[in-house]
Structure 1
Amino acid sequence: MTDKTFDIIVYGATSFVGQIITRYMHDQFADGSITWAIAGRSKAKLQQVSNEIGLDGIELLVADAEDKAALQALCARTTVVMSTVGPYALYGDTLVETCVESGTHYCDLTGEPQWIRKMHTRYEEAAQASGARIVHCCGFDSIPSDLGVHFLQSEAMKKFGQNCDRIDMRVVKMKGGASGGTIASMINMVKEASADAELRRELKDPYSLCPPNHGFTARQRDVRMEYDSEYGGWIAPFVMAAINTRVVHRSNALTGNSYGNDFRYEEATATGDGPSGKRMARLTSLGMGALMVGMAVPPIRWLLEKTVLPKPGEGPSKKEQLEGKFDLLFFGTTPNGDKVSCRVTGDRDPGYGSTAKMLSQAAACLAQDIPDDIPGRFWTPAALFGDTLIERLKAYAGLTFELRNE
């Protein structure tokens, strides 16, 4: 792919998160170390973004998400397409198909397990044939979780000579505005599941994103409100665990079941100790349950969409983005009972500020850091990028990965 014009094309650059990504790309790669362009369906909106940010010399490319010929022309000019156009289950099929057919590498921000599985089923063999490396879930869902587990497993191997067969992740802090795009994706997934019994069964399978014949047998636990003695406080379900846990299990499968056939992984929101922590855990659990039920009932879903939930294209203010942060703790236990833990943090709001930097660095890693002999297929961040992306994120994206003192 050395004859390509661009290393990366940012597809969906006029979306809310696309604009943040474009500004970050402009600032981060002003030295010309990455050649890139922006793309979307409206030339006028692309020009407006270009004018506002000052993208002198950055080419603007027009391609609708359903225009196969335009997407083929896009792929012909770049090594990597970075897509922000969601909900991906509604708008993402044609671009993935085109990247796979043309051998163009691809990464995105999706957190939609039902769509990811559909893409695997349709295009895995074609990606292997063309050499296209496709990497979903390169934002807050699921890079901190996937690479956090990878990091902790590496540390466990160094310290104890074996991987952990159980890791628990706890969200200690998460400050930032809600993502309209994420909410839209959740609503679409609930709509699909409400009408499809087979999909509902699939969404209950913790290994739904693993390749066939993965060999995993461990029963994964459904987190409920409870006291967690390892963390030292109350916990409640975490809204993104449904996608993050599945990505982590696929990473295990793609690395030769390196975490073990009986590896168990869970995620939860930490709400603190004492009566106040218990109260917050109860409210979090009830709130999540009510939201999911509400999105499944059409009249309530309509009311939520119109009056409460953020819409696609809406997001936190610049101030909220800068003041946002996240702090995740990972607790690991080896088969011999040895314990190890680490912390992963981000310095911007998880859904936009940090996500924009994570996706951009994943795209740069995909364009420049992966050896030519790595085959095409549907990868995960940990299985394909591993330590290389961790170093990029620490250096350029405001993330930390640190072993905790026991």
Structure 2
Amino acid sequence: MGVKSIDKTFILTFSKWVMWGALIGAAVGSTTAFLLTTNDFLGNTRENHSWLIYFLPLAGILLGYIYMKYGKKDGNDSAKGNNLIIEAVHGNAKVVRRIGPIVYLGTFLTVLLGGSTGREGAAIQMGGSIAETVNHYFKVNLIDTNILLLSGISAGFGAAFGTPITGAVFGMEMTALGKMRFDALIPCLVSSFVGHYITESAWGVEHESFIIQSVPETSLKMFGMVILLSITFSLLSVFYCQLRHGIQSFSEKIFKKNHMSRAFFGGSFIVALTLILGTEEYNGRSLDMLEQSFEENVPPFAFFAKLVFTAITLGSGFVGGEAIPLFFMGATLGNSLSGFIDLPLSFLVGLGLIATFAGGANTPIAAFLLSIEMFGGEGIEFFFIACLISYIFSGHHGLWPSQPIYEPKSRLYNLAYGGTIETTEKNK
């Protein structure tokens, strides 16, 4: 009887996880296809009508009003974005189901009118929204609710970038620094792969492709150079995170957390910077320059310009994602360094893209898998080292202040167990 009971429990739980994962993946895959297609259309529209950027401050007022009026429920604030999803996974908050539609609308406004943003934040929050809807209507037992939230994260990331393996692991890795949620493996795996194939096969969405033309031969000298470069990229991720969080804290203090005023101020600043630089290369997603950086030289300070534009955009209350901006910063810094370092251009650019993301997201395993799926396994040993080094040297900083520190990255930091990225940054 005992064995039969265990078998019955195993089969029942496994079946539910597969069913829920597939359901979440299918829904997230479809909504992500809509997100990517619409973002492409809006991005092209903005490029053809440069005057649209002047409406960014007004869009900030509208977006702030929506979050203040409709984004809060029972003390849970949708304006926290990915941080709210992380807090909900740990039982410290509850996902507001309307967070998905709101962040989509906010991302569309931001992309159309010239704010600097990405896509994965919207996809992840829609994943959380859909997972919470499944939890609610299927009356999922309490122990499985956070597991389904993780599967929503996996589906969103896998579908957004066309990287289902990375997506599966990203959902298990992003919500706690130093802990992989293997208990969510089955639904995360199912939702990520289903989401990816629904996006690409069912809806015909094509993702960007980045090609590394050549990789240097392995040697002690080469590994030493990769380590030094990875430290540089990790510090870039720290600088971005600190500036972005600093702008958010400053704007919330000055405007007393009035999202409308914050976003109007941030949007006005973006308009002014665009006029001063005389280019719109750093507005929107900047995908053209990102792709260009793998093939030819780009402006030497492009990484810094994108860093400032993104920190102001997201720090002042606009929404979207931070992965693509991080990709851009790391890639263009690698491009700039190619003038001083005798390494293949596309390799330096790819190394910067992956290492900067690993340091900012605190997800070294997912970042390593991303390099494999994105670059076809080229330079696998170098990317493995780069992800680990960037993760260690970025310290206890990151994109998401709510990310708990399950255990410190290393004894090198002499940091006590517990706390979050936010509390650690304040204490230090």
- Higher strand content, 1 or 2: 1
Same fold flag (TM > 0.5) = no
- Higher helix content, 1 or 2: 2
TM-score normalized with structure 1 length: 0.27
TM-score normalized with structure 2 length: 0.26
